[in-house]
């Protein structure tokens, strides 16, 4: 399949044919990563951020940066909850 590069404002654009967009399940707003070599341009669907282990996330928490403004136990009941 051949497509033509077109000028779009200050950039260049390539129209993705409907058949290719359907096959790749692309929709308006889909985020793609673009990479290039001397001989090719590659478009890839942007992947999700890699998951980090919970231990690594918790290790970055600095308890000294959190301030407790009030104790929730001092608040009166609002509604039907039981204290």
Average pLDDT score over the chain: 85
- Please, what is the end-to-end C-alpha distance for the chain in angstroms? 69
Structure tokens at 73: 């136990």
Tell me if 48 is assigned to some domain.
yes
**Comparison of pLDDT for 74 and 62, the residue scoring more:** 62
Q: Is residue 83 assigned to a domain?
A: no
Residue spans of alpha helices (H) in the chain: 18-23, 54-59
Rounded distance, CA 45 to CA 14, Å? Answer: 16
pLDDT over 90 (residue 52): no
| Within-domain flag for 77 | no
Where residue 39 sits, what CATH number does that domain have? 2.10.260.10
Range of the domain at 50: 1-66
Domain assignment present for residue 34? The answer is: yes
Report the number of distinct structural domains present in the chain: 1
Asked, for residue 12, whether it belongs to a domain, the answer is yes
Q: So what's the pLDDT on residue 23?
A: 92
């Amino acid at each position: 399949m051949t497509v033509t590069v077109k000028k779009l404002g200050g950039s260049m654009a390539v129209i993705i044919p409907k058949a290719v967009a359907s096959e790749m399940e692309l929709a308006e707003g889909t985020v793609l990563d673009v990479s290039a070599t001397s001989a090719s341009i590659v478009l890839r669907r942007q992947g999700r951020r890699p998951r980090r282990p919970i231990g690594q996330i918790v290790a970055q928490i600095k308890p000294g940066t959190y301030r407790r403004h009030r104790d929730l136990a001092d608040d009166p009941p609002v509604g039907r909850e039981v204290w």
